[in-house]
Structure 1
Amino acid sequence: MNNVKHHTTQVNGIDIFYREAGQQDKPVLVLLHGYPTSSHMYRNLMQELSDEYYLIAPDYPGFGRSAQPHMADFPYTFASLADIVQGLLDQLGLKRYSLYLMDYGAPVGYRLAAAHPERIESLIVQNGCAYDEGLQQFWDPIKAYWKDKNDKVAERTLEGFHSVDGLKWQYTHGVPDATVISPDNWELDLRHLQRPGNDRIQLQLFYDYQNNTTLYPQWQEYFRTHNPEMLIVYGKNDYIFPVAGAEAYKKDVKHLEYHLFDAGHFALESHGKEIAATIREFLGRKVARKSLATA
């Protein structure tokens, strides 16, 4: 089994950290992380799949080990994050790949897929949203912030999401046995979130998330028009992106395989082995054989 390698490269003048595993001649899987974490969330999955797949997992600007440009120098929007990821994939010469979309990774990845549908071999969705049905009670303070960026009550609530207690809650809520979740997860996230200025960056991304929702109809049309192969591996107890958001994909995705796990938001932390096995079986049918047939 290949070891995970760790790199930093410049994309659009910004130092971007990414993890790499596997051999470049294998089918490619790009892993896009969520809030408030980084490519660290994929450390175990990359080890599990590196024998058969080539895996790339970047940290977005302001997250993990990537640089954190000042807000005056970089627009912290999901469109900008997508541009950075696309720039990295272009720099690495990756022309065809599957995308793993989790949380923030969904709006980043759907921008890539809709812009270049010919590059997408499959989509793997883990607690990532493309439907209004997935934005329920958790999102109320965020929606209040969208209406009024000066709403201090909403702002304090949002800042609580990346406090120590808020981070721990995101990892452990909905997990039947929270003792299987390593505290290293939220301690590492907190280290990066406590960089000077990072709090304002996270608030700006909360505010910009509303621009993802306006694209939901376009992404749904992409599903209907391009019929991507899609695998859903979802923590069914997630309060942030509840299972109604996973169910909604069934309306538009023709080639959909659907799996729920007794897990919370960060399902890989409690069900990593099961999800890895599901992904391996799915990609083995949908991507690896297709690649061999066209070689």
Structure 2
Amino acid sequence: MRPTLPAAAALALTALSAAADPAHPVTYHTLEVEGVPVFYREAGPAEAPVLLLLHGFPSSSHMFRDLIPELADSFHIIAPDYPGFGQSGAPVRADFGTLAQTMTALTEGLGLTSYTLYMQDYGGPVGMRMAVQHPDRINGLIFQNATIHVEGWSPDVVAQFAPFWAERTPETEAPLRQFLTAETTRWQYEHGSTRTDRLSPDAWLSDQAGLDRPGNDAIQLDYLWSYQDNVASYPAWQDYLAAERPRTLIVWGKNDPFFTMNAVTGLQNLLPNAETRLYEAGHFALETHTPEIAAAIRDVMAH
């Protein structure tokens, strides 16, 4: 039986962050989208430009808990949890095509007709699918440690995924199961960070609580299997960026163990007018550099 993922006790929902801007508090909602309960955080004036925050693996909208109050006076912010993550329900199908369709349906259910996409990790393939399908809805793109180039991957990570994508068996799946362990989840946050005193354990404990729910391992492995479809789509996404040249901001933790600086170079070659801000941070740069990233978003996108 497919597991349900109840919106229960796994998160400490950030009352402290919401208090940072009492004029624009963060509110919490769930909308049924194509039969799946999708949880999202919302803040900011309804008439302001929309900023859609698309999280990575193995996180949720929880990763934006500090960023949202920083920008809520200038943007109408929507930060969903993907099906299978955070407080959302289990997906009907755990693949990236379905995931992007669900996120698009969420925006349509909320009446959003244009938005800037903030894309981190999994947010890259989700957001690029949304952009290619509806280019008229895109006001801008923000890439944060999300690659659309094969050259942007760490060779060590490619070596882990290649046998699994070539043939899915219990043996090839076993190395990928390491991505679901508490040790790896914490490592993803700590590796490459230069401000370790700013790393909140709430981040990896929240993520791990989601990963450890009964049946969630199968969902996450299906997403990891589906990731090869993203790699196959890279040329089409590159063509879109080269042709459309949307307003783009690149904010990047330079010490990312998954997506290297070659990913940044690839984006810069496609988008020579993109603004780039680099930080001495790892894969989850927001954990340590929220004020700087928020300032960059204001500089580039809030006009």
TM-score (norm 1): 0.93
Measured in 1, the distance between the counterparts of 2:198 and 2:74 equals: 27
Measured in 1, the distance between the counterparts of 2:241 and 2:279 equals: 24
CA offset at residue 77 of structure 1? 0.5
Ranges in structure 1 where 5+ consecutive residues have no aligned partner: 289-295
What pairs up with 1:1-295 in 2 under 5 angstroms? 1=21, 2-69=24-91, 74-136=92-154, 137-150=156-169, 152=171, 154-284=172-302, 288=303
Measured in 2, the distance between the counterparts of 1:203 and 1:59 equals: 18
User: Which residue of 2 is the match for residue 292 of structure 1?
Assistant: none
CA offset at residue 105 of structure 1? 0.3
Q: Partner of 2:65: helix, strand, or coil?
A: helix
- Cα deviation, 1:45-82, whole Å, max 9, x if unaligned, reads 1000001110001011100000014xxxx221101100
Q: Partner of 1:209: helix, strand, or coil?
A: helix
CA offset at residue 151 of structure 1? 5.0
User: Which residue of 2 is the match for residue 293 of structure 1?
Assistant: none
CA offset at residue 178 of structure 1? 2.1
Count residues in correspondence: 280
Spell out structure 1 runs of 4+ moving beyond 4 A: none
Deviates more, 1:89-98 or 1:138-147: 138-147
Amino acid at match of 1:149: R
Measured in 1, the distance between the counterparts of 2:28 and 2:273 equals: 34
Q: Partner of 1:214: helix, strand, or coil?
A: helix
Partners of 1:224 and 1:254 within 8 A in 2: no
Amino acid at match of 2:78: I
CA offset at residue 155 of structure 1? 2.2
Ranges in structure 2 where 5+ consecutive residues have no aligned partner: 1-20
Deviates more, 1:131-140 or 1:114-123: 131-140
CA offset at residue 201 of structure 1? 1.0
CA offset at residue 157 of structure 1? 2.0
Measured in 1, the distance between the counterparts of 2:253 and 2:61 equals: 19
Measured in 1, the distance between the counterparts of 2:284 and 2:259 equals: 11
Amino acid at match of 2:299: E
Partners of 1:32 and 1:100 within 8 A in 2: yes
Measured in 1, the distance between the counterparts of 2:31 and 2:229 equals: 28
Deviates more, 1:262-271 or 1:241-250: 241-250
Measured in 2, the distance between the counterparts of 1:243 and 1:235 equals: 9
Measured in 2, the distance between the counterparts of 1:242 and 1:162 equals: 22
Measured in 2, the distance between the counterparts of 1:3 and 1:234 equals: 27
Measured in 2, the distance between the counterparts of 1:198 and 1:79 equals: 19
Partners of 1:144 and 1:151 within 8 A in 2: no
Measured in 2, the distance between the counterparts of 1:143 and 1:8 equals: 37
Partners of 1:101 and 1:126 within 8 A in 2: yes
CA offset at residue 28 of structure 1? 0.6
Percent identity between matched residues is: 44
Partners of 1:228 and 1:255 within 8 A in 2: no
